[in-house]
């Protein structure tokens, strides 16, 4: 008898060591998320994957699955609040989808669509954030950074480098690059690095690839993010084990 | 500089866990963290430079750009405001000819605000190069400005500027008599270590930081972990505005606190302990270090304590201006030399704490009480207090009262009793437990301080009827936005949105929908934040809105929508460029429902 948890009334098996997110994904249940990728150590910072576990809110990506858990995920309240959290991410940065190369491939945008986000709800911050175009092959626009740290983790855990880190405190947090000059060109980032390709938004862009895939043929143009996520990430999870 | 940095790195045995301590020393010496220091440390400690930059940019007292040789900070706590802080900092800025937040052109002095420095009973307060300044007034500021302009070294400044008083007005079970040095350890060993844990269990002692976890249970969980290394950490990062009792306990009862830590070490099997002292209490560092040395000489610390075979020592780590480090897992991150970002839990520190090892983190007062219980037994403590809250609580009382200071009460004491004792009259309300706690109105003075009613870490700020409740809630809301670590979305963005929304209403730009928007935001920040900071950041607004909704509503404009900024003021630049200041170049800010906004009226038709 395998151990089970209940998610929105469905009985879901899990193994020791799995998080609620792992168990849900393996069972084909999508829980919205942005800072999580099953290949990397969970971070638990975007809070989109917040679920209610026996009456208490927890991040599904970090909270261990345990026998006896009754998890609520697709409730009206949680869906509405996830939309609000997504809107927070939108107003915090400068996310101008129509002019962004990532449009259609962007997870932030796709999650916004998935959660039926129709406006930004909160007042915009319009922060003045830096663009670093110094690297020959990679460009970073901090206006679009949501501080998910996926690039930080990918650089450390997969590329074996430490190109990125998050610095600062509170609303002034930003990405920094490991170079004495502070410029991306002086880091050991290579365009082939996983970290250069993992950004869920358009903050990290590979140069000279813009619009090679036309709008209309992009990842989220035909499929919603729940379907894409379950097809790609859950598959990886199985292979990873 | 190279030699200096080499020296302090060597003193820290090149351990990256000492990064914050090293950076503090560099900041103290050079008034910033120079680029060359970052490069050198990166090599010496074998860590990426990004780690050093991220630590330097996380803590308020560290800077990558030079500050003045005299770094002056003025406490921005609500109690300082009530004592005229705003006027004083303006006076100081004028006297020193430096703008707030800036460094004077000659590099001699910089001036800025800082979060509550823990001197609420003797404010307005400040810091100069980390050292506490108390009871600031115009004459003290004249003196300070003169000393700065003469560039007098700090050790030649008059001592009265730095005088910190205990102000103990009411002592009880714990403060009445300090245990004799070594008494708790002797009793514990005589009685037996396991039996001593049972006495602490019997005492019903719960954590004094505010959360109230049973101390004996925490120690037992930690001792039961299958690990060969364990740690004891004393949380002396009391950053909650209005709290200063740990400052007094460490000034006058430090021996007993260290003894409590040592008893804990004996029980859980730890060899190393840390006191995480908030940076604002730098003035206590040498004194505490001397007491630790004395204890080592007397065989109460170090190897083979009291010939029992117990090896245990205590190291003091200083914070550097980050309220979040009072959260136990953020504190542990900070002890490891990293930015103070709360960890994901589980696992909890009792199983995975400092360097991933089982760790007990307790408040200063908890260790003080544990030492007394080890001497006097569990019943002695449990005989006082209430069913669910045993013993006494040490309060830091400040604000509008005749005698601000330290008061010890049995749990279950009413707010009314406390107000009488501290000489508070004409009271409008009390902030119990600091900004993260509850604001109670004068209809609730029969409520009791206890985990089952008003839980508190000890902060107790009194407001009389002349105070504007909205200013109080606004000050606290700004505090949380400033102190949010920025890790999770709801707190990072939400506390800044709360600040904007609160400012909008308080400054008179709120319209009818803005209270609902504020309530929704409070709920989001409270329910979705990663740690206690975010989960309580909306409390000042929630608890005052529950009680004084009319005050909020009175601020609103009688229209359905109101821009969140000063419309006319925003046109100032355009006016000056166009060299116009006629009636047509101005916009009316507010228009009652139904009337036509001024901007839509053709210029010719305006009167």
pLDDT single digits (tens) B540-566: 999 999 999 999 999 987 766 667 778
Distance from CA of A214 to the nearest CA of B (A): 32
Residue pLDDT, tens place only, B339-352: 999 999 999 999 99
Same domain, B209 and B347: yes
Q: Which pTM value belongs to this model?
A: 0.94
Same domain, A8 and A71: yes
Residue B339 CA to residue B342 CA, distance in Å, equals 9
SS3 content of chain A, % helix, strand, coil (to 5): 30, 15, 50
The answer to the question of residue B116 being in a domain is yes
**Tens digits of residue pLDDT in B454-507:** 999 999 999 999 999 999 999 999 999 999 999 999 999 999 999 999 999 999
Please report residues of B whose CB lies closer than 8 A to that of A85.
489-490, 524, 528
Same-domain pairing of B224 and B150: no
d(CA A46, CA A50): 9
Contact yes or no for A169 and B57 at CB 8 A: yes
Task: Kindly calculate the radius of gyration of chain A based on its CA atoms and give it in whole angstroms.
Answer: 18
Distances (CA, A) of B216 to B314, B367, B374: 21, 11, 12
Distance CA A178, CA B580 (A): 50
Residue A47 lies in a domain: yes
Instruction: Mark whether B174 and B161 lie in a shared domain.
Output: no
Give the integer Cα–Cα distance in Å for A227 and A231: 6
Domains in chain B: how many in total?
A: 6
The model's confidence at residue B600, banded by pLDDT at 50, 70 and 90, is: very low
* Rounded distance between C-alpha atoms, residue B124 and residue B461, angstroms: 15
Residue of B nearest to A92 (CA): B493
Do B75 and B205 share a domain, yes or no? no
Q: Which residues of A touch B325 (CB under 8 A)?
A: none
**Nearest residue to B492 via CA among A124, A48, A169, A43:** A169
Residues in chain B: 607
Residues of chain A positioned with their CB less than 8 A from the CB of B497: 88, 91, 122-123
Contacts of B53 in chain A (CB under 8 A): 165, 167, 176
Residues B236 and B322 in one domain: yes
pLDDT above 50 (res B323): yes
CA distance from start to end of chain B: 68
Nearest CA in chain A to B481: A170
Buried b (16+ CB within 10 A) or exposed e, B190-212: eeebeebbebbbbbbbbbbbbeb
Interhelix angle A76-92/B514-528, rounded to 10 degrees, is 100
Same domain, B182 and B296: yes
Angle ∠(B354,B211,A170) on CA atoms, nearest 5:
65
Q: Could you give the number of structural domains in chain A? A: 2
Search chain A and give the residue with CA nearest B322.
Answer: A169
- Residue B594 predicted with pLDDT over 60: no
Q: Of A18, B4, A182, which Cα lies nearest the Cα of A7?
A: A18
B46 contact residues in A (CB cutoff 8 A): none
Cβ neighbours of residue B573 closer than 8 Å, sequence gap 6 or more:
none
**b/e code B236-259 from CB counts within 10 Å (16+ = b):** bbbbbbbbbbbbbbbbebbbbbbb
Which of A88, A183, A189 to probe the B interface (max B CBs under 10 A)?
A: A88
What's the mean per-residue pLDDT of chain B?
94
- Select the residue of B50, B53, B485 nearest A170 (Cβ to Cβ): B485
Task: With a cut of 70, say whether residue B603 has pLDDT above it.
Answer: no
Judgement on whether residues B500 and B538 belong to the same structural domain of the protein: yes
- Residue B607 pLDDT > 60, yes or no? no
User: Helical H runs in B441-513?
Assistant: 469-483, 489-506
First-to-last CA distance in chain A? 20
- A152 within domain boundaries: yes
Q: Enumerate the β-bridge partners of residue B363.
A: B235
Strands B459-464 and B392-399: parallel
Hey, are the CB atoms on A167 and B53 less than 8 Å from each other?
A: yes
- Domain presence at residue B516: yes
pLDDT-based confidence at residue B606 (cuts at 50, 70, 90): very low
Q: Which of A42, A57, A173 sits opposite B527 (nearest CB)?
A: A57
Tokens of A87: 């809107």
Residue A236, pLDDT > 90, answer no
Structural domain contains residue B41: yes
What's the number of CA atoms in the CB half-sphere (13 Å) around residue B133? 26
**Token code pair at residue B419:** 């107000």
Residues A136 and A204 in one domain: yes
The pLDDT of residue A161: 95
Q: Are residues B486 and A125, on separate chains, in Cβ contact within 8 Å?
A: no
E strands, chain A, are 3-7, 10-14, 50-53, 56-59, 70-72, 131-132, 138-141, 164-167, 174-177, 204-206
Number of other CB atoms surrounding residue B555 within 10 Å: 16
Q: Tokens 């604001």 — which residue?
A: B439
Mean pLDDT for the stretch of residues B144-162:
97
Structural domain for B593, as ranges = 571-605
Considering only CB atoms, which chain B residues are within 8 Å of A46? 488-489
Domain with A132 in it? 95-222
* Residues on chain B touching A45 (C-beta within 8 angstroms): 487-489, 530
Q: Residue A186: which pLDDT band, with cuts at 50, 70 and 90?
A: very high
Sign of the Cα torsion B425, B428, B433, B434 reads negative
- Tell me: do B38 and B117 sit in the same domain: no
Cα B448-B453-B455 angle, rounded to 5 deg:
95
Alpha helices in A104-209 (DSSP H): 107-114, 150-157
**Average pLDDT of the residues in B427-455:** 96
Which residues of chain B neighbour A147 with C-beta distances below 8 Å?
A: 486, 492
Q: Are residues A165 and A214 in the same domain?
A: yes
pLDDT at residue B189 above 80? yes
Among B482, B489, B495, beta carbon nearest to A47: B489
Residues A209 and A110 in one domain: yes
Q: How many CB atoms lie within 10 A of CB A41?
A: 14
CB contact under 8 A, B528 and A171: no
pLDDT(B593) > 50:
no
Q: What is the ipTM of this complex?
A: 0.97
Q: Chain B residues with CB-CB distance to A under 8 A?
A: 35, 39, 48-51, 53-54, 57-60, 322, 339, 344, 346, 481-490, 492-497, 500, 520, 524, 527-530, 564
**How many beta-carbon pairs under 8 angstroms link A with B?**
111
Q: What percent of chain B has pLDDT over 70?
A: 96
Could you tell me if A108 and A128 lie in one domain?
yes
Q: Mark whether A99 and A210 lie in a shared domain.
A: yes
- Distance, in Å, from the CA atom of A108 to the CA atom of A110, rounded to the nearest integer, reads 5
Q: Pick from B324, B358, B382: which residue ends a domain?
A: B382
Report the CATH number at residue A211. 3.30.70.20
Kindly indicate the confidence band of residue B583, based on its pLDDT and cuts at 50, 70 and 90: confident
Residue A88 has its nearest CB partner, among B339, B485, B489, at: B489
How does DSSP assign B230-298, residue by residue? -EEEEEE---STT--HHHHHHHHSHHHHHHHHHHHHHHHT-SEEEEEE-GGGGGGHHHHHHHHHHHHHT
CB-based contacts of B146, cutoff 8 Å, min separation 6: none
B39/A180 CB distance under 8 A: yes
Query: For residues B259 and B167, what is the distance between their CA atoms, to the nearest angstrom?
Result: 24
């Amino acid at each position: 008898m395998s151990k089970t948890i209940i998610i929105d009334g469905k009985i879901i098996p899990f193994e020791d060591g799995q998080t609620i997110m792992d168990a849900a994904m393996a069972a084909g249940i999508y829980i919205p998320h942005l800072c999580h990728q099953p290949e990397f150590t969970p971070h638990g910072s975007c809070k989109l994957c917040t679920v209610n576990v026996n009456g208490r809110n927890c991040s599904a990506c970090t909270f261990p699955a345990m026998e006896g858990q009754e998890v609520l995920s697709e409730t009206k309240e949680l869906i509405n609040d996830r939309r609000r959290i997504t809107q927070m991410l939108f107003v915090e940065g400068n996310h101008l989808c129509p002019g962004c190369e990532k449009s259609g491939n962007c997870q932030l945008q796709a999650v916004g669509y998935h959660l039926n986000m129709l406006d930004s709800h909160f007042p915009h911050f319009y922060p003045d954030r830096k663009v670093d175009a110094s690297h020959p092959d990679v460009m970073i626009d901090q206006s679009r950074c949501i501080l998910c740290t996926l690039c930080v983790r990918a650089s450390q855990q997969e590329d074996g480098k430490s190109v990125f880190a998050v610095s600062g405190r509170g609303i002034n947090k930003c990405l920094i690059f490991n170079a004495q000059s502070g410029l991306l060109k002086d880091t050991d980032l290579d365009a082939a690095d996983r970290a250069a390709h993992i950004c869920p938004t358009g903050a990290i862009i590979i140069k000279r690839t813009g619009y090679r895939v036309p709008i209309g043929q992009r990842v989220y143009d035909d499929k919603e993010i729940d379907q894409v996520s379950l097809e790609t990430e859950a598959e990886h999870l199985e292979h990873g084990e | 500089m190279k030699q200096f940095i080499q020296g302090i790195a060597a003193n820290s045995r090149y351990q990256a866990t000492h990064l914050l301590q090293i950076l503090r020393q560099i900041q103290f010496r050079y008034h910033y963290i120079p680029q060359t220091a970052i490069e050198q440390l990166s090599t010496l400690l074998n860590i990426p430079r990004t780690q050093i930059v991220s630590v330097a940019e996380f803590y308020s007292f560290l800077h990558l750009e030079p500050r003045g040789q005299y770094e002056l900070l003025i406490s921005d706590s609500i109690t300082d405001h009530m004592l005229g802080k705003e006027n004083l900092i303006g006076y100081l800025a004028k006297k020193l000819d430096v703008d707030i937040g800036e460094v004077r052109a000659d590099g001699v002095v910089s001036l800025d605000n800082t979060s509550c420095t823990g001197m609420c009973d003797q404010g307005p307060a400040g810091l100069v190069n980390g050292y506490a300044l108390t009871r600031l007034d115009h004459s003290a500021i004249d003196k300070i400005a003169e000393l700065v302009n003469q560039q007098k070294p700090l050790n030649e400044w008059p001592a009265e500027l730095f005088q910190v008083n205990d102000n103990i007005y009411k002592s009880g079970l714990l403060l009445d008599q300090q245990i004799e040095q070594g008494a708790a350890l002797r009793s514990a060993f005589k009685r037996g270590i396991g039996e001593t844990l049972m006495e602490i269990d019997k005492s019903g002692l719960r954590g004094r930081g505010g959360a109230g976890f049973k101390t004996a249970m925490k120690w037992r969980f930690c001792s039961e972990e299958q690990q060969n290394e364990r740690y004891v950490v004393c949380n002396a990062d009391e950053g909650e505005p209005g709290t200063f009792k740990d400052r007094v306990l460490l000034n006058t009862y430090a021996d007993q606190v260290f003894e409590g830590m040592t008893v804990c070490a004996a029980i859980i099997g730890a060899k190393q302990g840390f006191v995480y002292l908030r940076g604002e209490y730098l003035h206590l560092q040498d004194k505490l270090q001397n007491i630790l040395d004395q204890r080592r000489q007397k065989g109460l610390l170090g190897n083979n304590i009291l010939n029992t075979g117990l090896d245990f020592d205590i190291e003091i780590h200083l914070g550097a201006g980050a309220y979040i480090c009072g959260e136990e897992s953020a504190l542990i991150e900070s002890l490891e030399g990293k930015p103070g970002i709360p960890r994901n839990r589980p696992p909890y520190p009792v199983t995975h704490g400092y360097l991933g090892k089982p760790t007990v983190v307790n408040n200063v007062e908890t260790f003080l009480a544990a030492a007394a219980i080890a001497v006097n037994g569990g019943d002695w403590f449990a005989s006082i207090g209430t069913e669910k809250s045993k013993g006494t609580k040490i309060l830091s009382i400040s604000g509008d009262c005749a005698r601000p200071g330290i008061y010890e009460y049995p749990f279950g004491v009413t707010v009314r009793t406390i107000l009488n004792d501290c000489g508070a009259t004409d009271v409008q309300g009390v902030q119990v437990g600091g900004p993260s706690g509850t604001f109670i109105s004068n209809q609730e003075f029969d409520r009791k301080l206890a985990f089952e009613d008003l839980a508190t870490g000890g902060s107790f700020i009194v407001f009389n009827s002349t105070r504007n409740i909205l200013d109080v809630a606004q000050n606290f809301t700004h505090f949380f936005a400033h102190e949010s670590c920025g890790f999770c979305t709801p707190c990072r963005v939400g506390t800044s949105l709360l600040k904007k929304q609160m400012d909008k209403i308080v400054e008179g730009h709120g319209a009818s929908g803005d209270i609902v928007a504020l309530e929704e935001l409070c709920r989001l920040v409270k329910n979705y934040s990663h740690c206690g900071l975010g989960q309580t950041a909306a409390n000042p607004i929630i608890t005052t809105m529950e009680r004084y909704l009319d005050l909020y509503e009175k601020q609103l404009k009688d229209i359905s929508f109101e821009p969140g900024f000063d419309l006319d003021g925003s046109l100032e630049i355009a006016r000056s460029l166009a060299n116009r200041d006629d009636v047509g170049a101005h916009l009316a800010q507010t228009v009652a429902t139904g009337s036509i906004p001024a901007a839509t009226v053709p210029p010719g038709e305006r009167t």
